[in-house]
Structure 1
Amino acid sequence: MDTRAGTSTEFRTTTGRVTGRRSPGGVIAVLGVPYAAPPFGPYRFRAPQPVPGRDDGAPRDATSFGPVAPQSAELPGAPVWRPGDEDVLTVNVWAPDLPDAGALPVLFFLHGGAYTFGSSAQPHLDGAALARAGTVVVSCNYRVGFEGFGHVPGFPDNRGLLDQIAALRWVRENISAFGGDPERVTVAGHSAGAGSVACLLGMDRARGLMRRAVAHSVPGTFYSVGAAAAVSARIAAVAGVGATADGLLSASPAHLVAASDAVAARGAVDPVLPRHAGDPVVFQPVVDGDVLPADPLTAVGSGAARDVDLLVCHTLEEQWFMHATGSVREPRSEEEVGDAVEALRLPRHLAARYREFMPDASRLDRFLALLGDACFGEYTTRLAERHAGAGGRAFLSRFARRRPSPDGDVRPWHTADVPFALGTLDAPDARFLIGGDPDEQDRALSRRMVRAWADFADRGDPGWPPVTPDAAPVRMWAVPDDGLADDASFRVRRLWRDVDLGTPEPSPHP
């Protein structure tokens, strides 16, 4: 059977035949294909297990997304998890309908969601536009929340990362059937997806599975095993079970989702770790010395991924999104600003530096600027710098698109860049992210960003110079026009010169 895109919507994979559907614009979508066995029953809390092969001779209907991993989130336009949904480890493929194109570059996208929620079925994560730009696009669901990142004694940490690696192995074994080149795989992600990309760069298990990487808004928080165990113990206590393997296995996924949500909600008054007083994210990758040998800055700085090209981006006003969605507690005094900074294990004097740097800004705006740089901007930039310093090729960009609106300026906040880079400005869930309906300047910006991603996946060149030991060119994504700046011109970075970042969060109990 000829399984190349353009001749059929049926494809042969290592676990059987699948049938997709044609999408508008010359793209074939193959959705909800299992890459690992359901991670429940005897496989719960374990590394992902192989999918049993299909032997009934009938192709799998792959025309709709698979169920999402256990979570409580109800995201616009995406499926919600229901107890009993078990086949949650699936991939989606968007392949150009180009039978004579040869082997095309592959772009593998990881969704965000604070390592706690999200799925590949969110409408603004559709891969068709990038497929039309000449790439084979793959996305996947992976375990999130306690099932993916909760510490369980005797079981592997970072099960969500292990799921991603299993999905990448599926890509290596199967993507040629869809017209993709398994030697030109770019792993991309945003927020927790970008944090996952950063982790994968330093993981032995991921070596050889990617040629390039794209990371937008990399969160810089990682747990030690002790910190992860403390979070797990609190969740177990709320769930009414022991913090042991048997105790946690006795709690249903739904029960642990509810307990995790309760622990996150009480963080402001009863934090597990100091950072939880202002940061409701209770799950993070765990630097366990095995699955994740070191934090990403350390791993990348040692040259662990120098053979992988890296493209990074962050938005200029990341944290305003968290404030708009109710994830940031407003400080009532300068003392509270300092307390929040210290809870993040940052020097208290950063608060004073931002007062001097932004003398006319309100306390809230200064606080959000500091948090945005602390949680995403500075870490993302340092990842590129460390990679370049270790001999890798790194490209730096920042999303600066602003425009006026009746409710005030639309800010370049967290996640606003994703619909632009994926070409999904008209997705029903993109309107809030980008601050209203797109105009023609927005569409032109999106076309430029899609082209940059596609060219980077194809040949490792997004269209501007890489970071070097002597210079750090920065592509500024903006309307009406983009520009190339020098990182040295961003005065805010001087505030961070003597600040350490990225070391794993320690146990709360010495």
Structure 2
Amino acid sequence: MEIFTTKNGVVQGFRASDDVVAVLGIPYAAPPFGVNRFREPLPAQAWTGIRDCTAFGPIAPQSAQLPGAPAWSPGDEDILTVNVWTPAPDGGRLPVLVWIHGGAYTFGSSAQPDFDGTVLARAGLVVVTLNYRIGFEGFGHVPAGEGLAHPDNRGLLDQVAALRWVRENIAAFGGDPANVTVAGHSSGAASVACLMVMDRARGLFRRAIAHSVASPCYTLDIAAATTREVAAAAGCPATPEGLTSATPEVLVIASDQVVDDYRRDPASGSRHYDPSLYAPVLDGDVLPTDPLTGMAAGATREVDLLVCHTTEEYWLLDAVGSSAKIITDEQLAPFAEDFGLPDGLVAGYRAAMPHAPVLDVYLAVFGDLLFGEFSNRLAESHAQAGGRAFLSRFDRRRSGPQGVVRAWHCADIPFAFGNLDSDCLAFLIGGAPTSADRELARRMVRAWADFAATGNPGWPSVNGSSTQAKIWNTDGDANDDKPAALRALWAEADFPVLLP
């Protein structure tokens, strides 16, 4: 059966494989443009007849053109859609996994080849992926004005709307609305962490998976300052009327210009090294507190949490040219100062990496600052406050056509989804998968499926006396601790990172 009845109408999917049906591009909210722009997501309109859902919907405004994924076209408006893969089209009550893509809150979509849900569905899950507003449309601060409200964190509100769609509709696809796991990577993982502390999302999921959680949050002052910069680059006033008058395309171009200005100016502070303009805003309303503080206070203890990060996160950002090159000690010192790193932290990494070039020391510190250490702290804070948390690290590397492929940012996701064969992913994983790679993927898929079904991925949870992590690699997985000496260097560091 490839026909399903949702609250808004009937949809038709297709056979993604002999045992899995995919239904793509289902609207979960109205197009967020025109009079709906910069507003909370509104309900999608119902339709008559059978809606063809055999192709992904349009993606959110962005300039990125990612391998294997569609590009955004100005004029595409019906961007708030979900995709479903189900192995039980005739009914059932299977665990549900809802995936939120990453991309620095600025790029990406659910249509990327590594996010195909077929393998996870075959493992016994109903898989949902979604598009949401990113860039200025989703996370840019619009000042208060007369008339319609323009809330902060609109991208997070879109994600809540998608989770509500899941609660109301997923039973029609064989899913259990009472057993939902929300999962994400990078900014998608940080979105998951934010959802855990948001009142609007409470009760919409019972478990969470967060891979490589991005640490930055913004205060209202930082978000407002970013708006002024983007508005100036767009040639419009930083007012609700001025920002609304600028098309999404204009604000994408303006954001890219501001990013480029930071990249070119070594004296521009923390954003010179990683000029991501957008992040969740601590507005006291949609996002009442940052995830780490909320977890430490016990606000999320009823949600089971599975955290993972890679052991060489930032090497990918260097390889694709999105991070500043720091190759001398003279450059390393201001980097540490710009981020307010504790005294002795960089020296401690140098001591732990005595033969490494400065670039590698910088990438190791930056990767732990933005992803690794923050991910560890989330798991620990959640456990210490009475929640159940599991921690893992991805440590698989191999030689590829262009040299060594490290255990870098994003490399774990094709394995967790079981998608290793797309040509678009060859750079990420180092060429064609080996038999050992396939076995690693099988184990990671099983861990996700088991966690979504039962809350237990297959290894001990974090407890008060130790933070033992599952290590994923192709040499035989192990349970191991990250070197205590490196983690101790972060003891005096403040999280979340508040930039710039």
TM class by shorter-chain length? over 0.9
For residues 70-97 of structure 1, give each alpha carbon's deviation from its aligned partner in whole angstroms, at most 9, with x where no partner exists.
0011111111111110000000000004
The alignment status of 1:35 with 2:28, answered yes or no, reads yes
1:323 aligns with 2:314: no
C-alpha distance in 1 between matches for 2:263 and 2:402? 30
2:74 maps to: 83
Unaligned runs of 5+ in 2: 145-149
Looking at structure 2, the residues matched to 344 and 140 of structure 1 have their Cα atoms a distance apart, in angstroms, of: 33
Q: State whether structure 2 residue 35 is matched by structure 1 residue 45.
A: no
Give the root-mean-square deviation of aligned CA atoms. 1.5
Secondary structure at the aligned position of 2:431 is classed as: coil
Question: 1:269 Cα deviation (Å)?
Answer: 4.0
Residue 446 of structure 1 and its aligned partner are, at CA, apart by 0.1
Amino acid aligned to 1:346: L
Please name the residue that 1:483 is paired with.
Answer: 478
Do structure 1's residue 298 and structure 2's residue 293 form an aligned pair?
A: yes
Deviation at residue 335 of structure 1 after TM alignment: 2.6
**Cα 1:128–1:38, aligned 2, differ >3 Å: closer, same or farther?**
same
The answer to whether the 8 A contact 1:67-1:81 is kept is: yes
Letter in 2 for 1:498: E
Alpha carbons of 1:203 and 1:13: their partners in 2 closer, same or farther (altered >3 Å)?
Answer: same
C-alpha change, 1:321 and 1:66, in structure 2 (3 Å) is same
Q: Deviations over 1:351-404 (max 9, x none)?
A: 222122211111011111111111100000000000000000000000001223
| Shift, 1:480, TM fit | 2.4
Tell me how far apart the structure 2 counterparts of residues 470 and 222 of structure 1 sit (CA, whole Å).
Answer: 29
Comparing 382-391 and 151-160, the one that deviates more: 151-160
Pairing 1:72-471 to 2, within 5 Å after superposition: 72-97=63-88, 99=90, 102-154=92-144, 155-270=150-265, 274-405=269-400, 407-471=402-466
CA distance in 2 between counterparts of 1:338 and 1:286 reads 29
- Alpha-carbon distance in structure 1 between the residues aligned to 2:266 and 2:88: 52
Q: Deviations over 1:268-322 (max 9, x none)?
A: 3458973211112111111111111111100111111100000000000000000
> Partners in 1 of 2:192 and 2:494 — Cα distance?
21
What percent of counterpart residues are identical? Answer: 58
- Equivalent pair of 2:209/2:305 in contact (CA under 8 Å): yes
CA shift digits 1:83-133 (9 cap, x unpaired): 110000000000004647x30000000001110000000011101100000
Partner AA of 1:20 in structure 2: G
Query: In the aligned structure 1, how far is the partner of 2:457 from the partner of 2:346?
Result: 36
- The answer to whether the 8 Å contact 2:270/2:499 transfers is no
CA distance in 1, matches of 2:260, 2:64: 14
Match of 2:492 among 491, 498, 504: 498
CA distance in 1, matches of 2:351, 2:221: 37
Q: Given the superposition, is the C-alpha separation of residues 406 and 143 from structure 1 closer, same or farther in structure 2, using an over 3 Å criterion?
A: closer
Deviations 1:143-189 (A, max 9, x none): 00010001101210100000000000000000000000001100000
| Separation in structure 2 between the aligned mates of residue 35 and residue 344 of structure 1, nearest angstrom | 39
Q: How far does residue 408 in structure 1 lie from its aligned partner after superposition?
A: 3.4
How far apart, CA to CA, are the structure 2 residues paired with 1:477 and 1:470? Answer: 22
Greater shift, 289-298 or 266-275, is seen at 266-275
Contact 2:370 2:497 (C-alpha < 8 Å) held by counterparts: no
CA contact (8 A) 1:20 1:30 kept: yes
8 Å CA contact retained: 1:72, 1:81: yes
SS in 1 for 2:423: coil
- Does the 8 Å contact 1:223/1:285 carry over to 2? yes
Q: Residue 3 of structure 1 aligns with which residue? A: none
Counterpart amino acid of residue 465 in structure 2? D
Q: 1:348 to 1:486 in 2, by over 3 A?
A: closer
> Which amino acid in 1 is paired with 2:280?
P
**TM-score, structure 2 length as denominator?**
0.97
Report whether the alignment pairs 1:70 with 2:61. yes
Q: Distance in 1 between matches of 2:209 and 2:184?
A: 6
Aligned AA (2:66): L
SS at match of 1:280: coil
Contact 2:28 2:161 (C-alpha < 8 Å) held by counterparts: yes
User: Partners of 1:384 and 1:445 in 2: how far apart?
Assistant: 23
Structure 1, residues 171-216: CA drift from partner, whole Å, max 9, x if none?
Answer: 0000000000001100000011001001111111010011100000
SS in 2 for 1:213: strand
1:437/1:497 CA distance change after superposition, 3 Å = same
Matched with 1:20 is: 13
How far apart, CA to CA, are the structure 2 residues paired with 1:371 and 1:293?
A: 27
Whichever residue aligns with residue 146 of structure 1, its letter is F
Contact 1:338 1:348 in 2 (8 A): no
The DSSP-based 3-state class of the residue aligned with 2:23 is strand
Change over 3 Å in CA distance of 1:276–1:85 after alignment to 2: same
Label 1:271 to 1:205 Cα distance change in 2 as closer, same or farther (>3 A).
farther
Query: Is residue 227–residue 273 contact of structure 1 (8 Å, CA) maintained in 2?
Result: no
CA displacement at 1:435 relative to structure 2:
1.4
Match of 2:4 among 1, 11, 22: 11
Task: Provide the C-alpha distance between the structure 2 equivalents of 1:503 and 1:147, rounded to a whole number of angstroms.
Answer: 23
The amino acid across from 1:188 in the alignment is A
Amino acid at match of 1:494: A
Label 1:444 to 1:26 Cα distance change in 2 as closer, same or farther (>3 A). Answer: same
Deviations 1:394-447 (A, max 9, x none): 000000012234543321000000000000011232111111110000000000
Partners of 2:451 and 2:45 lie apart in 1 by 35
Give structure 1 stretches of 5+ with no counterpart. 1-7
SS in 2 for 1:131: helix
Partner SS state of residue 237, structure 1? helix
CA–CA distance in structure 1, aligned partners of residues 88 and 163 of structure 2: 22
